[in-house]
Amino acid sequence: MQKDPDQSLVNNCFAVIYTPSRRRKRFPENCVEPAASAEEALAVAAARKDCHAAEVLGPSRSSEGFRLYYLLKWL
């Protein structure tokens, strides 16, 4: 039996988030790029406009069917 990727456990990870402001607390999957480490996320975010490094939890499926990442903290 194949494992459904939407049923897997959510994890903490570092990521680069594309967002013009830091007011939101959850982000759709297409705005989040997971990174291997906090240092990598900070380096990538510094090189891109409107991108910010963060620690996130996700992805998880919302009630509307979207896959979301939840902000734990900005780096």
Element spanning 73, H or E: strand 67-74
Q: How far apart are CA 28 and CA 66, in angstroms?
A: 7
- Residue owning tokens 């975010």: 45
pLDDT at 7: 52
Cβ(23)–Cβ(44) below 8 Å: no
Give per-residue pLDDT as tens, 22-34: 999 999 999 999 9
Fill in the amino acid letter for 18. Answer: Y
Q: Which of 65, 61, 4, 37 is nearest to 16 (CA)?
A: 37
Mean pLDDT along residues 44-55: 97
